[in-house]
């Protein structure tokens, strides 16, 4: 399941999503440097997404797809 402020037809981990939530409830934020692949960083307190705080099973980063 992907949650984002973008319309669902435009959301994918490899696409233009700003936030991504894994099936086990870890929320990530996307960042990308010019000329580099995007990287997803764990959001420690994703209250703005309506999610609880990150848990121990969440990886700090997710590599590019």
Q: How many Cα atoms are found within 13 Å in the side-chain-facing hemisphere of 22?
A: 18
Q: What is the pLDDT of residue 36?
A: 85
Q: What are the structural domain ranges in the chain? A: 8-62
**Average pLDDT across the chain, whole number:** 75
Q: What is the pLDDT of residue 14?
A: 54
Q: What is the pLDDT of residue 11?
A: 44
Which whole number is the average pLDDT over 7-33? 70
Distance CA 32, CA 45 (A): 21
**Global confidence as pTM:** 0.68
């Amino acid at each position: 399941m992907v949650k984002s402020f973008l319309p669902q037809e435009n959301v994918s981990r490899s696409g233009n999503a700003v936030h991504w939530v894994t099936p086990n409830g870890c929320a990530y934020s996307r960042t990308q440097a010019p000329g580099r692949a995007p990287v997803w960083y764990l959001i420690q307190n994703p209250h703005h997404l309506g999610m609880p705080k990150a848990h121990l099973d969440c990886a700090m980063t997710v590599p590019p797809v």
